[in-house]
Amino acid sequence: MPAIPISPLEQALLVPFVNPALEELRSRLLHVVTSSHDLNAAVRVVVQMAYETELMAALGQTIAQVPGIAEELVATRRRFLAIDEDMTNFKYLYDPALDALEELVILPSCYVRFLRAYTGAPYPKYRMCTLAVILCFAAASLGGL
């Protein structure tokens, strides 16, 4: 259990998405980001990942990060390479989730194209942080944040 209370964004990430494409990506990524598969720890890790690259610039304008979350140690957090290896067989989930962001008008087309390019980045950290950003935008929008 995280030491800092669950934030509104994390609470929204705990709720299954109605959209099947976004829900498949959410459930798969939450399953692989920790070794314990604890959902509270997993949503904390996903939020941390979303703020770890320059992708957070747009996210940070939409959703304020709760102080201390980025620095909190999640003991069961897995390395980016391990997460990326597990997600390799699920790349087919990326485009439908991005399409859903666009169709549900969660993000403008230009930003969806930007994120789409990042899902094919040569570095595992960028690919996996992009998935976290996708889920955070979806959770914030669909959760009414």
Give me the residues paired with residue 34 across strands: 77
The domain segmentation of the chain, as residue ranges, is 8-142
Per-residue pLDDT 10s for the chain (145 aa) are: 557 888 999 999 999 999 999 999 999 999 999 999 999 999 999 999 998 887 777 776 777 777 888 888 999 999 999 999 999 999 999 999 999 999 988 888 888 999 999 999 999 999 999 999 999 999 998 876 6
Residue type, 115: L
- Taking the C-alpha atoms of residue 142 and residue 68, their distance in angstroms, rounded to an integer, is 25
The answer to whether the predicted template modeling score (pTM) of the entire model surpasses 0.85 is: yes
Euclidean distance between CA atoms 29 and 27, whole angstroms = 6
